[in-house]
């Protein structure tokens, strides 16, 4: 489904600040897969997500989604993104209901609005965070975990094929992290949405997802298929650089 081939990305090309962030990265991500990307600070993880969304055009190589080259102005029909800061995924001055209505679009896979709405409420309920019990509450009044849960449900209310997550649990406490990861897993399993998630939390990489892609210094240094072998957080920590070790602790 997502095919990244020999991608090279250079920031500030031709200047003193020139930085090669991706050095010939290749990978394939299959429809419905849940892939976790780990790696030290500066390894190129966020740059890779930006290549997948079309925000960055690689200097060399290609990125295709379902056989078509990715284009920034079309990706939003196929993919949704949730980032680290709980305040960026929701509209704080709108109610929970208004946020959901705003996020609702006709799904790229042709689902009706009715089914999408029902599913959104079911997903909110499944978190046991009480979001569905008072839909008239302003999003600004919600906790970080509640905001991220709402942001995730909003992200999938358009039924995207692909959900991209850039450290979406990084600002949360361990309990909220677990709730948000359970919701992420439910979205992947129940909706069949392909999930690509970046994290510095090695326990998450151990416990969730089907494959772990390890990035180091702009390259893919390892791909672990967890359907055939388990991987411990300590093993992953040992595989990546000291910088990632510090970030994960």
**Contacts of residue 134, Cβ cutoff 8 Å, sequence gap at least 6:** 96
Q: Which is nearer to ligand ATP, 43 or 123 (CB)?
A: 43
d(CA 165, CA 184) in angstroms, rounded, equals: 9
Is residue 127 near ligand ATP by the rule CB under 6 A? no
Residue pair 65/232 in contact by the 8 Å Cβ criterion: no
Select from 213, 178, 179 the least CA-distant residue to 195: 213
CB atoms within 10 A of CB 112: 11
Q: Which of 42, 61, 92, 241 binds ligand ATP (CB under 6 A)?
A: 42
Segment lying near ligand ATP (by CB under 6 A), choices 38-46, 60-68, 123-131, 147-155: 38-46
Is residue 21 near ligand ATP by the rule CB under 6 A? yes
Is residue 168 near ligand ATP by the rule CB under 6 A? no
- Least Å from the CB of residue 50 to ligand ATP: 8
Tell me the residue ranges of DSSP E strands in the chain: 2-11, 19-29, 34-39, 60-65, 68-69, 79-82, 162-166, 194-198, 211-216, 219-225
Q: Hey, which residues between 147 and 166 contact ligand ATP (CB under 6 A)?
A: none
Q: Which of 41, 112, 133, 234 binds ligand ATP (CB under 6 A)?
A: 41
- Least Å from the CB of residue 15 to ligand ATP: 10
Q: Which of 7, 36, 38, 39 binds ligand ATP (CB under 6 A)?
A: 39
d(CA 105, CA 101) in angstroms, rounded, equals: 8
Residue pair 208/34 in contact by the 8 Å Cβ criterion: yes
d(CA 82, CA 150) in angstroms, rounded, equals: 10
Q: Which is nearer to ligand ATP, 21 or 139 (CB)?
A: 21
Question: Tokens 């450290």, residue?
Answer: 167
Is residue 47 near ligand ATP by the rule CB under 6 A? yes
What size, in residues, is the chain?
Answer: 249
Q: Hey, which residues between 196 and 215 contact ligand ATP (CB under 6 A)?
A: none
Segment lying near ligand ATP (by CB under 6 A), choices 34-42, 125-133, 135-143, 183-191: 34-42
Distance of CA 138 to the CA centre of its chain: 25
- Least Å from the CB of residue 51 to ligand ATP: 10
Q: Which of 2, 4, 38, 43 binds ligand ATP (CB under 6 A)?
A: 43
- Least Å from the CB of residue 190 to ligand ATP: 29
Interaction site with ligand ATP (CB under 6 A): 11-12, 19, 21, 39, 41-47
């Amino acid at each position: 489904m997502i095919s990244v081939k020999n991608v090279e990305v250079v920031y500030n090309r031709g200047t003193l600040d020139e930085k090669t962030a991706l050095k010939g990265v290749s990978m394939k991500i299959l429809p419905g897969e849940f892939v976790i990307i780990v790696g030290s600070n500066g390894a190129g993880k966020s740059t890779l997500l930006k290549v997948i969304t079309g925000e960055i055009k690689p200097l060399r190589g290609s990125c295709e989604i379902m056989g078509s080259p990715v284009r920034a102005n079309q990706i939003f029909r196929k993919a949704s993104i949730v980032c680290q800061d709980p305040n960026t995924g929701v509209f704080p001055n709108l109610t929970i209901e208004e946020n959901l209505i705003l996020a609702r679009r006709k799904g790229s896979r042709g689902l009706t609005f009715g089914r999408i709405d029902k599913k959104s409420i079911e997903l909110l309920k499944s978190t046991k965070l009480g979001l569905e019990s008072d839909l008239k509450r302003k999003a600004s009044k919600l906790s970080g975990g509640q905001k991220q849960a709402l942001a995730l449900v909003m992200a999938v209310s358009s039924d995207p094929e692909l959900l991209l997550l850039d450290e979406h649990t990084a600002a949360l406490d361990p309990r909220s992290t677990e709730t948000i990861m359970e919701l992420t897993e439910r979205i992947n399993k129940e909706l069949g949405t392909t999930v690509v998630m970046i994290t510095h939390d090695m326990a998450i990489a151990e416990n969730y997802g089907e494959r772990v892609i390890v990035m180091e210094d702009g390259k893919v240094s390892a791909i672990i298929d967890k359907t055939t072998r388990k991987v411990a957080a300590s093993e992953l920590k040992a595989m990546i650089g000291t910088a990632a070790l510090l970030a994960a602790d």
